[in-house]
Amino acid sequence: MYEGLKKRLHKRIALNIAGSPLWIDLQESADAIEALQKLTDAQLDIIKQYQEQFSKTRWIPVTDHTPKYSGYYLVCDTDEHVYTAWFGNTTKHWWTEGVVTHWMMRPEPPKKETSKGDAEDDV
């Protein structure tokens, strides 16, 4: 079930090692690969959740790629203004007056606290 994730993690680690200006001991690399192979499904779930959260909260250069779906996104333009803009997937166009350089998913809205201290989904 998680073999694909293990392979992607292995590849990313290998790419990070290859892109590093530091010399890496081959034994350390082998140890890292062995440690990855021993990860449990629960540990892989935590890593996957972290990756999903990280991908939602990082700036993505438009030169890397644009969103897959139409919708509102948090954007930064050439003047370093940050705001929400609409991206049209069929037109591959940002509907804004500025020139978008980076974008990211909008964060989840805060959860409203109830009188009992529990969080509600509605804001």
pLDDT digits (tens, 9 = 90+) for 16-74: 444 433 344 455 667 777 777 777 787 777 777 777 766 667 889 999 989 989 999 99
Report the Cα–Cα distance between both ends of the chain, in Å, rounded: 37
Answer whether residue 10 shows pLDDT above 70.
no
* pLDDT in the model for residue 112: 84
Name, in order, each residue with C-beta under 8 angstroms of 79's C-beta and a sequence gap of 6 or more: 98
Looking at residue 37, its amino acid is Q
Answer whether residue 106 shows pLDDT above 80.
yes
Token couple for 73 = 């996104």
**Cα angle value 103/90/97 (rounded, 5°):** 50
* pLDDT in the model for residue 63: 93
Token couple for 82 = 């940050």
pLDDT digits (tens, 9 = 90+) for 75-101: 999 999 999 999 998 889 999 989 999
Q: What is the mean pLDDT of residues 105-119?
A: 76
Residue 17: enclosing H or E segment and its boundaries? Answer: helix 3-19
Residue 94: enclosing H or E segment and its boundaries? Answer: strand 93-95
